[in-house]
């Protein structure tokens, strides 16, 4: 059974998917994104839950058959990325999305994020829009995922580099940008044409704010997702979390790039099974 599809509205003020136009920026912001990758069902009961799915990327030829030619094309593309969160319910043996459900939410490439951990407020994180280096916009190209015993979802930013380009072909890229694959050409998304934060000649630090694990609380739609920089910056494929015998939280992560590595994060503090609120920032500090 198909439970939900790209373009299905999550809210009653949304617009039913139009296969001829494939929607607009406004309609996509109120609807399920494209290309589901990692997912997790958070159970409310035997017949209800909150389904969280990554929307890794968009099929450009389907999203924009005429190409990326105007600002709304980019708005729509950015809204097709990110994470979709929606209340689902089973009635008469069939699962359906609860339109206007209390948990329904879209997190896109324009959503507010909090930067936490050792990279917070670093000079290389600061931008014109965020001179303090504590708050970024959006998450995209989220590949595999993870979840925590305190009820949060871990979205993993993978090929974030493919969205940056430059209007200045003569810009000199840094060694770090070269290491992550950031150059003067993107992968055809064209975001830099209408959003200067994706133009490395205009905002060279913006790309440093991507490539992290993002922790999201699906049960609190008003909560701000947190980029957990203590878990490292690379092309995150997944985040498999376990509790070690000594009580520490351990997260195993893959870097989905040729010739790269597996990583293990060990929390500084211990997991408290009888006090879940105390576990909220266990991914803030560690080795």
Give the per-residue pLDDT at 123: 98
Give the per-residue pLDDT at 140: 98
Give the per-residue pLDDT at 38: 93
Give the per-residue pLDDT at 113: 98
Per-residue pLDDT of the chain in tens (287 residues, 90 and over written 9)? 999 999 999 999 999 999 999 999 999 999 999 999 999 999 999 999 999 999 999 999 999 999 999 999 999 999 999 999 999 999 999 999 999 999 999 999 999 999 999 999 999 999 999 999 999 999 999 999 999 999 999 999 999 999 999 999 899 999 999 999 999 999 999 999 999 999 999 999 999 999 999 999 999 999 999 999 999 999 999 999 999 999 999 999 999 999 999 999 999 999 999 999 999 999 999 99
Rounded to the nearest 5 degrees, what angle is found at the Cα of 142, between the Cα atoms of 249 and 281?
A: 30
């Amino acid at each position: 059974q198909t439970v939900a599809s790209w373009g299905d509205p999550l809210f009653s003020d949304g617009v039913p998917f139009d296969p001829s136009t494939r929607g607009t920026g406004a309609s996509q912001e109120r609807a399920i994104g494209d290309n589901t990758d990692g997912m997790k069902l958070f159970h409310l009961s035997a017949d209800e839950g909150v389904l969280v799915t990554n929307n890794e990327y968009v099929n450009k030829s389907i999203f924009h058959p005429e190409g990326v030619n105007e600002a709304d094309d980019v708005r729509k593309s950015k809204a097709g990325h990110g994470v979709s969160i929606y209340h689902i319910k089973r009635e008469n043996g069939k699962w359906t999305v609860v339109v206007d459900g209390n948990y329904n939410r879209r997190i896109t490439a324009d959503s507010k994020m909090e930067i936490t951990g050792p990279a917070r407020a670093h000079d290389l994180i600061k931008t014109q829009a965020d001179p303090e280096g504590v708050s970024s916009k959006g998450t995209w190209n989220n590949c595999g995922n993870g979840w925590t015993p305190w009820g949060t979802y871990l979205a993993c930013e993978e090929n974030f580099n493919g969205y940056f380009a430059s209007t200045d072909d003569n810009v000199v890229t840094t060694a770090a940008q070269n290491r992550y694959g950031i150059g003067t050409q993107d992968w055809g998304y064209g975001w830099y044409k209408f959003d200067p934060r994706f133009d490395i000649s205009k905002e060279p630090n913006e790309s440093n704010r991507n490539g992290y694990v993002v922790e999201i609380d699906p049960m609190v739609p008003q909560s701000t997702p947190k980029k957990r920089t203590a878990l490292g910056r690379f092309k995150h494929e997944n985040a498999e979390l376990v509790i070690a015998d000594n009580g520490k939280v351990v997260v195993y992560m893959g870097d989905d790039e040729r010739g790269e590595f597996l990583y293990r994060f060990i929390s500084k503090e211990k997991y408290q099974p009888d006090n879940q609120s105390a576990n909220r920032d266990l991914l803030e500090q560690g080795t």
